Amino acid sequence: MITVETSCYHCGETCENTNILLDDKPFCCEGCKLVFELLNGNGLCTYYQLNGQPGAPQRSQIRPDKFAFLEDEKIRQQLIQFRNDTHTHVTFYIPQIHCSSCLWLLEHLHKLDDGVQRVTVNFARKEAQVIFQQSQTSLRKVAELLTSIGYEPYISLQDLQHKKPAVNRQLIYQLGVAGFCFGNIMLLSFPEYFSGNGGMDTHLFRYLNLLLSLPVFLYSAQAFYRSAWGGLKHGFMNIDVPIVLAIIVTFTRSLIDISTNSGAGYFDAMTGIVFFMLAGRVLQDKTYQGLSFDRDYTSYFPIAVTAIRGKKNVPIALPDIKEGETLLIHNNELVPADGILVKGSALIDYSFVTGEADPVPCLTGDIVYAGGRQLEGNIQLHTIKAVAQSYLTSLWNRQELQQDAHKQPSFIHLLGRHFTWVVLGITVLTAAWWGFHDPSKIWPSVTAILIIACPCALLLSASFTNGHILSILGRHKLYLRNAGAIERLAATDHIVFDKTGTLTDKQKAVTVFNGQPLTRHERLQAAALAAQSTHPLSRMVRDFCGSNHIPVKDFEQVTGMGISGTVMKDTIRLGNAAFTGAAGIAATNGSVVYLSINGQVRGYFSIRNGYRNGIQSLILQLRKKYQLTVLSGDHARDESTLRKLMGTKATLRFLQQPQDKLDHILALQQQGQHVLMVGDGLNDAGALKQSDTGISLTEDSNNFTPASDGILAAANLPLLPYYIQLCKTSKRIILASFIYSLVYNFTGLFFAVQGRLSPLTAAILMPASSISIILLTWSMSALAAKKLHRKALQLTADEDQSFACARS
């Protein structure tokens, strides 16, 4: 018999209870139904016409006092962007934004609250700027309204502690000035190029070119001056040093030529150098504004928590929490500071902090650490450390993480430094030659060499190649921080993986029942009992046995042991061996939940980690070229499976605390290895930051990710070898284009050493070299990207086939 599933009209989830109807429309829960009633009553049902089932599930109930902290004036002042006597401006991050229906509904929020004046949505950043009248509504009411319709704003401690930096547009302005001046100088130089002897008087054009070159020399080139000076102060000659030398020499030579009426100078070449260099830098410095690479624990923590002071529950901002505070931690809420459990039974999920998948039960008097999530009921903690001193925050305070000494300078700067010494050597030899033969040609030849031999081709090829590679990787869901990350990724020789959430996929966990076969009636009984608990293992048992709505009587939950209840007159127990009376039954690898019915043990549910699609082929590829390590905070239940997958040469370490992972990365680097770390949680944050390249895996690029050099969509992890190969190709493209550009340099040097480099020759060589380099690097990087694109299409096809097989 084929079962037809009914989908919720609001969110699209399967309706387990088909009796929740309104206007003949089915809903999965009362929450979704209430949102529909609200929108329908205010004439906003266009929301459902733009996209089918666009809403978010409303099964989870929000505490009425969740946003009470927004009534605190101190907190409000730090969140609000602008406020006058009538209006307030605030920007909320709303992760649920995903389609055009979301934009439409949020921009019509004023129909649900008269106090809201306007909402402007930034879809890429998933942000909504709300302007409201404080006389008619409040910040708390706006947040609660958004939550009630399924768009709960995510307000973290980071919002309170960090102001978003203003967008730096100076480089764009400098590029615009350089482009304007370069184009006009080229036009005004044509009379000089083609007038010949006895032609028209070009003095006016020369002085106009001088005036136009001043903004470029004094303003547009500032980025290169600062970079060169910064390198020299630290005793390192980066590639900007010879470029600055070329700019200064070209301008000085041109100024002398005009003042002595001996020529028109090389203003077109000088402004061309600056323009093309800035264009490359703007492209290379392009960032993904919707992503954050520098997140820390403050992005993960809430902005406030409930403190018990006297007999009152008071919202308190996290920075204000002191030792000795009594905190009320609600169900499914994060623990913000280390504390002693003084009331309630705690079941703490530390998976995002330690990597351990199993929740940890805590009894009264036990220490509960910051970063864990309370899974069952409310508890009270007596804080023993402030937020900034907790175990979790100490991960960011280690001395090793305060410096980037392990980040080596770019090979571009090293190559540019050697090239500069070669150019200076040629310059000295040329000056010595003319000193003996014709001293009058020393100045023209020396300045001509510095002009024509500027390593701008090397910087251009690097800038445009890296900029294009960053764009290509971004299209394939790997978002790197900057061009430096490309080089470090290409140099990788050791890859370290986290296990839980990185190699494994929670949605692919495999549940198997071992024991006497269960009847359909018994499976429904077990599912009904498991549905009463929020424990992750209980949810997996429920999903395995099937959802139902059978009532459960006498339900009891013993923290850390199991659950029991009466289902259809039978006593059902789910839990560990001691709780169910199964102490003598051996279990296989994986998390285990035993089942007993009326005191008789029927067997156990074995729940093993499910690995991501394509992981096996990924590891087989990587094993051939790289050393591999797995650092897991979980137990060694999957060691045998991982050993078969990773090979005998791989290093496997389990029960790894965050500092253990960091120490292991440091040890590998001390052995001279270039480490790539791939992880997904706060327990990986220190290791990700310390690694030569840290890549944070995420199911959604707008979700929380620890500090890293790159953010990778989890589904694209099997493409990792091709990402690395593309980064290696980038270096080869830069070197090939640099060698190609030397042809121009040798051509120009032939004239330069003889002191016969004319402005016309320089004007032809400079743009021709720059444009040809841009076209060459662009075409070569596009060609290299085709292989990655083919593999991405193949990966998508494999996923579609796997999904189709699963459904069938």
What is the mean pLDDT, run by run of 10 residues, along the chain of 808 residues?
66 74 83 85 85 75 77 81 85 81 85 89 82 90 87 72 56 88 84 60 80 91 84 72 80 84 78 80 59 56 79 79 85 82 82 62 81 81 75 54 52 68 78 79 72 65 77 81 82 87 75 86 88 77 77 80 88 88 65 88 83 84 88 76 84 82 88 88 74 80 60 83 87 79 66 60 63 74 75 59 42
Calculate Rg over the CA atoms of the chain: 33
Helix (H) or strand (E) holding 34: helix 30-41
Q: Measured between alpha carbons, how far is 297 from 319 in angstroms, rounded to an integer? A: 13
Confirm if 117 and 110 have CB atoms less than 8 A apart. Answer: yes
- pLDDT at residue 127, rounded to an integer: 84
Give the model's pLDDT for residue 794: 67
Structure tokens at 170: 């100076």
- Total residue count of the chain as it appears in this document: 808
Burial 327-346 (b: 16+ CB within 10 A, else e): bbbeeebbbbbbbebeebbb
Show me where the domains of the chain are located.
1-52, 170-287+407-466+728-794, 300-401, 482-496+614-720, 510-608
Give how far Cα 794 sits from Cα of 787, 797, 799, Å: 11, 5, 9
- What amino acid is encoded at 75 in this protein? I
> Which stretches within 149-221 are classed as H helix?
157-161, 170-195, 203-215
Give the integer Cα–Cα distance in Å for 208 and 258.
11
Specify the pTM: 0.62
CB atoms within 10 A of CB 573: 24
Measured in degrees and rounded to the nearest 5, phi and psi for residue 698 equal: -145, 145
Residue 701 backbone phi and psi in degrees, to 5: -65, -15
As assigned by CATH, the class of the 510-608 domain is alpha beta
**Could you give the CA distance from residue 557 to residue 660 in angstroms, rounded to a whole number?**
34
Contact 271, 767 (CB under 8 A): no
- In degrees and rounded to multiples of 5, residue 807 shows phi and psi of -70, -40
Nearest one of 786, 780, 789, 785 to 464, comparing CA atoms: 780
Are 300-401 and 510-608 equal in CATH topology? no
Query: CA 795, 797, 801 angle in degrees (round to 5)?
Result: 115
Q: Is the distance from CB of 130 to CB of 97 less than 8 angstroms?
A: no
Q: At what angle do helices 170-195 and 203-215 cross, to 10 degrees?
A: 160
Paired residues of 361 in beta bridges: 347
DSSP type of residue 387: G
State the Cα–Cα distance between residues 526 and 507, nearest whole angstrom. 21
CATH superfamily of 482-496+614-720: HAD superfamily/HAD-like (3.40.50.1000)
Amino acid at 198: G
**pLDDT for position 48:** 85
Angle between helices 240-259 and 203-215 (to 10 degrees): 150
State the DSSP H helix or E strand holding residue 103, giving kind and residue range, or none if neither: helix 100-107
What are the counts of helices (DSSP H) followed by strands (DSSP E) for the chain? 26, 28
Class of domain 300-401: mainly beta
